[in-house]
Chain A
Amino acid sequence: MRSRSLLAVGASLGLVLGACSSGATPSPSAPSAPASVAPSGSTAASAPASGGPSSNLPTAIGAGEGELDIIVWAGYAEDGSNVKEYDWVNPFIAANPDCGKVNVKPADTSDAMVSLMQGGGGGLYDGVSASGDASNTLINRGDVAEVNVDLIPDFKDISPFLQSPAHNTVNGKHFGVSHGWGGNTLMWRTDKVTPAPTSWDVTFDPAKMEPYKGKVTAYDGSIYVADAALYLKTHKPELGITDPYELTQDQFNASIDLLKAQHPYVGKYWSAYTDEIDNFTSGATVVGTTWPYQTNTLKAAKVPVSAIVPTEGMTGWADTWMLASKAKHPNCMYKWMAWMVTPHVQTEVAEYFGEAPANPKACTELDKTYGSYGVKNFCTLYSVNDKSFYDSISFWKTPQVDCGDSRGQTCVAYDQWVTAFQAVKAGS
């Protein structure tokens, strides 16, 4: 669902203006490399049991198996070949010579990630940077293993709300380590949309959409049904929607109807974030849901846009590093997970990708800017420590039959979301 690797293509055509190529100078002072995260003097390695009880978890990270195979969102495992100062793969290898080879497989979408994790019966990859809409699926199908977070030294520094979120922690069992997050805000072209919207009604209410017919944008992923549900939660309280990902058939149908009513007003659904940047730059779309990354990029390119958290709240995404249950190199994956949440690596990823880091300790370096993608006061801009901002987010998770509450097994599962959203987009 989230296509990111197309960025290079867009950028090469000069569609992505400014931000990515702004003449900011790289930070001259190389920051001190974080200390090795591998606990010294660890005893024999014990491979983590797949989905087993907590007592079977490894108590120490053993020696690396020499290699690491990971599936990532483009931009989550940089080796400096794209932008010189953004390199946390080579320092990882330097700090962990026993994991001397890191094989990175970028995936465009959550769908692709799940496919890759399950390919070949599992075990082809050691881990994945899954988003909330894929992580529960991976947990349920047993594709990822429980992780002993005591072996991740920086875990204690991760934002409290990201230590045991529902999208990676089930029944107190951790199935990975949070990496970073962002919210789907409402963005508009300030020169084309007046007055400034305060509510999602500008993307869902036909009367409010009328002036922008054909120029409204919506996210091109089945998970977007939750945005409609979130809107109905406020505007149709009689439906009794409590969680936009746990919808009974009636609530689900109402959400789909809302999306069908929205469809004629949508100019372009976006899936690759470069798509949205292009469309807001050209004016093909002028209002709709976005990630902070696009807003910042557009602002840097002097496109007149603004974004807010509307009164109804918003959906969002949070990514997790997960360990494959059939991982061939579990120790190296543990070391990678530990590495990825160290403050300096979090700084690099947050800046390069444009998202809130899971570990707020990165803010010290982020606020001063690290590399050429840096912005001053990064953590304020991305609301890293803003609890109210975080609380306003309904984070992506996989819709399941089990509602997760007293309603029992009456909710609409994700496969129905996919089919129904396809019908919405087909206009039938």
Chain B
Amino acid sequence: MTATTPDGPGSAAPASGPLPGAVRGGGRRHVLAELYRHPRAQILLLLTPPLGWFGIVYMGSLALLLVTAFWTFDSATGRVVQHWTLDNFAQLINQPAFRTIALRTLLFATAVTVADMLIAFPIAFYMAQVASPRTRSVLFMLCLLPLWASYLVRVYAWRVILSPNGPLDWALGLVGLGPAGLYPSELGAGIVFTYLWLPYMILPLYAGLERVPRSLLEASADLGARSSTTFRRVILPLVLPALAAGSIFTFSLTLGDYITPGLVSNNQFIGNVVFEQQGVSGNLPLAAAFALVPVGIMAIYLFVARRLGAFEAL
């Protein structure tokens, strides 16, 4: 089943500015010499293709999204009319359902990020500061192993675990507890998300914790700090950038997901609404307007993360 996807404007990626390979012998040496003398030209040549790609494919599609959000959808003909309006945004604000869905998506992304931080920290700390090199590599492998399996397979596996009379209920039954009733449920979706994105939190956190000198922890203990104080006043400030870096992954991945909510709960995320509004319905302007919401949220989030030094920790 070969999928022939349109390449869009990307296929016309700039071929401008390659080295003139046709130039032979002395000519080529001359060009190379010129380049050597002008480092700026070198950089320009190096960066033009990726920047062109970034500009056209990424910024271009974002700009198109932005423009479409201000167009009008004609319900009668099912067509998009290029008539400028703010109605789409008004609808987002006025429709309680859209507000609920946006807030719920945001809440989920935040909760999953916090849960991942809480679970990832002890693991990353153990890996970075306690474990022997051998144990560390085993733990590393265990962290990365799930990423080898398809996202869908992992979500379906969790569905089996959570479903009524599934392994979880069976295990609870052994200790005399009733069925958990986690499928379908929002808590179930939260658990699956937390599991899915955990490696993306552990890895930056590990990198951050590894850089914390052991001597600092010992000095803190020598000066009479209890471990909770050491954690609060020494470790946490040092790994805050790493924590922020990891949270970018967990937060943005949850924010943009639209498959897990439908498979594990009855939740709709922003992505589900966007998907259903285009397609048969063809309401691209409303879809575009709603799609801008997570873009805006991420812009704010990245700004804050940058202030926390997340980008130095990446």
Q: Is the CB of B273 within 8 A of A12?
A: no
Q: Does B33 contact A (CB under 8 A)?
A: no
Chain A residues in 8 Å Cβ range of B16: none
Mark out the residues of chain B between 111 and 170 whose CB falls within 8 Å of any chain A CB in the assembled complex: 150, 152-153, 156-157, 159-160, 163-166
Q: Does A209 contact B (CB under 8 A)?
A: no
Query: A415-B78, A419-B95, A428-B100 are contacts. A115–B268 as well, Cβ < 8 Å?
Result: no
Q: Is the CB of A111 within 8 A of B276?
A: yes
- How far is A13 from B157 in the complex, measured between Cα atoms in Å? 7
Q: Is the CB of B1 within 8 A of A9?
A: no
A331 to chain B, nearest CB (A): 19
Q: Is the CB of B101 within 8 A of A426?
A: yes
Q: Does B275 contact A (CB under 8 A)?
A: yes
Chain A residues in 8 Å Cβ range of B256: none
Q: Is the CB of A271 within 8 A of B262?
A: yes
Q: Is the CB of B184 within 8 A of A137?
A: no
Number of A-B residue pairs, CB cutoff 8 Å, is 131
Mark out the residues of chain B between 263 and 280 whose CB falls within 8 Å of any chain A CB in the assembled complex: 263, 266, 268, 272-273, 275-280
Of A57-65, A98-106, A338-346, which stretch is located at the interface?
Answer: A98-106
Q: Is the CB of B159 within 8 A of A278?
A: yes
Chain A residues in 8 Å Cβ range of B156: 9-10, 13, 15
Closest A residue by C-beta to B272: A422
Chain B residues in 8 Å Cβ range of A15: 156, 160
- How far is A299 from B281 in the complex, measured between Cα atoms in Å? 35
Of B69-77, B230-238, B292-300, which stretch is located at the interface?
Answer: B69-77
Q: Does B79 contact A (CB under 8 A)?
A: yes
Mark out the residues of chain A between 268 and 308 whose CB falls within 8 Å of any chain B CB in the assembled complex: 268-269, 271, 275, 278-279, 282-284
Q: Is the CB of A422 within 8 A of B276?
A: yes
- How far is A106 from B5 in the complex, measured between Cα atoms in Å? 12
Q: Does A403 contact B (CB under 8 A)?
A: no
What per-residue 1/0 map shows which CB atoms of A103-119 lie under 8 Å from chain B? 11110011111110001
Query: A105-B3, A282-B165 are contacts. A427–B78 as well, Cβ < 8 Å?
Result: no
Mark out the residues of chain B between 82 and 103 whose CB falls within 8 Å of any chain A CB in the assembled complex: 95-98, 100-101
Q: Is the CB of B184 within 8 A of A284?
A: yes
- How far is A319 from B281 in the complex, measured between Cα atoms in Å? 18
Q: Is the CB of A418 within 8 A of B283?
A: yes
Q: Does B282 contact A (CB under 8 A)?
A: yes
Q: Is the CB of A114 within 8 A of B184?
A: no
What per-residue 1/0 map shows which CB atoms of B27-68 lie under 8 Å from chain A? 000000000000000000000000000000000000000000
- How far is A26 from B120 in the complex, measured between Cα atoms in Å? 51
Q: Is the CB of B164 within 8 A of A110?
A: no
Other contacts beyond A141-B282, A413-B75, A413-B76: 12, CB < 8 A: A111-B276, A137-B280, A222-B281, A284-B184, A416-B75, A417-B281, A419-B277, A419-B286, A422-B268, A422-B273, A423-B95, A426-B101
Chain A residues in 8 Å Cβ range of B276: 111, 222, 418, 422
Most buried by A among B3, B95, B164, B276: B276
Q: Is the CB of B163 within 8 A of A278?
A: yes
Query: A9-B156, A415-B78, A419-B95 are contacts. A105–B281 as well, Cβ < 8 Å?
Result: no
A408 to chain B, nearest CB (A): 11
- How far is A60 from B151 in the complex, measured between Cα atoms in Å? 48
Chain B residues in 8 Å Cβ range of A119: 6
Query: A220-B262, A282-B165, A419-B95 are contacts. A109–B100 as well, Cβ < 8 Å?
Result: no
- How far is A284 from B184 in the complex, measured between Cα atoms in Å? 8
- How far is A267 from B162 in the complex, measured between Cα atoms in Å? 14
A-B contact pairs, 15 of them (CB 8 A): A6-B152, A12-B153, A13-B153, A13-B160, A15-B160, A111-B275, A113-B279, A115-B279, A120-B8, A267-B184, A268-B266, A282-B183, A414-B281, A415-B286, A428-B97
B257 to chain A, nearest CB (A): 16
A226 to chain B, nearest CB (A): 13
Q: Is the CB of B75 within 8 A of A401?
A: yes
Q: Does A425 contact B (CB under 8 A)?
A: yes
- How far is A423 from B279 in the complex, measured between Cα atoms in Å? 18
Mark out the residues of chain A between 294 and 338 whose CB falls within 8 Å of any chain B CB in the assembled complex: none
- How far is A282 from B181 in the complex, measured between Cα atoms in Å? 12
Q: Is the CB of A423 within 8 A of B278?
A: no
Most buried by A among B150, B183, B282: B282
What per-residue 1/0 map shows which CB atoms of B1-25 lie under 8 Å from chain A? 1111010100000000000000000
Q: Is the CB of B283 within 8 A of A415?
A: yes
Q: Is the CB of B4 within 8 A of A124?
A: yes
Chain A residues in 8 Å Cβ range of B262: 220, 271
Q: Is the CB of A114 within 8 A of B282?
A: yes
Q: Does A146 contact B (CB under 8 A)?
A: no
Q: Is the CB of A111 within 8 A of B157?
A: no
Q: Is the CB of A115 within 8 A of B266?
A: no
Q: Does A394 contact B (CB under 8 A)?
A: no
Q: Does A37 contact B (CB under 8 A)?
A: no
Q: Does A162 contact B (CB under 8 A)?
A: no
Q: Is the CB of A124 within 8 A of B6?
A: yes
- How far is A134 from B78 in the complex, measured between Cα atoms in Å? 12
- How far is A425 from B268 in the complex, measured between Cα atoms in Å? 7
Q: Is the CB of B77 within 8 A of A398?
A: no
- How far is A9 from B259 in the complex, measured between Cα atoms in Å? 14
Q: Does A27 contact B (CB under 8 A)?
A: no
- How far is A410 from B157 in the complex, measured between Cα atoms in Å? 47
Q: Does A409 contact B (CB under 8 A)?
A: yes
Mark out the residues of chain A between 351 and 392 whose CB falls within 8 Å of any chain B CB in the assembled complex: none
What per-residue 1/0 map shows which CB atoms of B171-192 lie under 8 Å from chain A? 0000000000001100000000
Closest A residue by C-beta to B264: A268
- How far is A406 from B6 in the complex, measured between Cα atoms in Å? 43
- How far is A313 from B259 in the complex, measured between Cα atoms in Å? 32
Chain B residues in 8 Å Cβ range of A419: 95, 97, 277, 283, 286
- How far is A251 from B6 in the complex, measured between Cα atoms in Å? 41
A353 to chain B, nearest CB (A): 16
Closest B residue by C-beta to A105: B3
- How far is A15 from B279 in the complex, measured between Cα atoms in Å? 30
Chain B residues in 8 Å Cβ range of A17: none
Query: A13-B153, A140-B78, A425-B266 are contacts. A418–B281 as well, Cβ < 8 Å?
Result: yes
Q: Is the CB of A398 within 8 A of B280?
A: yes
Chain B residues in 8 Å Cβ range of A110: 279-280
